[in-house]
């Protein structure tokens, strides 16, 4: 999906090593760290994390970014739990209201 949105292979490869990347901006690194914490152990969302985010984002941007992150994390976990693949149609059960 990232490729479809115009991200290069080089940029995609940098996400895995974002902390030492020379391509990603400090703002991008902060956003990836936020996503990493929210997708993993969200209890690591510390004052230090939010202090770093505030260097690059407004409070409103942090909330917006957080909502986007948890939406995608939740979506990914739901798709996994259903045994589906991202990008494939979700079959509705036979007794679904709109079948």
Q: Give the dihedral sign, CA 48/53/56/57.
A: negative
Q: Tell me: pLDDT of 70 over 90.
A: yes
Query: Cβ–Cβ contacts within 10 Å for residue 46, how many?
Result: 10
Specify the pTM: 0.77
Q: Tell me: pLDDT of 16 over 60.
A: yes
Element housing 80 (H / E): helix 59-82
**Domain residue extents for the chain:** 24-82
In which residue are the tokens 């690194």 written?
Answer: 29
- What is the predicted pLDDT for the residue at 2? 72
Average pLDDT for 78-96: 68
């Amino acid at each position: 999906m990232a490729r479809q949105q115009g991200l290069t292979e080089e940029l995609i490869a940098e996400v895995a090593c974002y902390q030492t990347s020379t391509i990603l901006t400090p703002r991008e690194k902060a956003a990836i760290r936020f996503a990493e914490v929210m997708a993993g152990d969200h209890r690591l969302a510390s004052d230090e994390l939010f202090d770093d985010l505030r260097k690059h984002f407004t409070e409103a941007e942090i909330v917006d970014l957080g909502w986007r992150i948890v939406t995608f994390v939740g979506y990914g976990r739901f798709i996994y739990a259903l045994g589906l693949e991202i990008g494939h149609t979700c079959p509705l059960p036979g007794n679904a209201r709109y079948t």
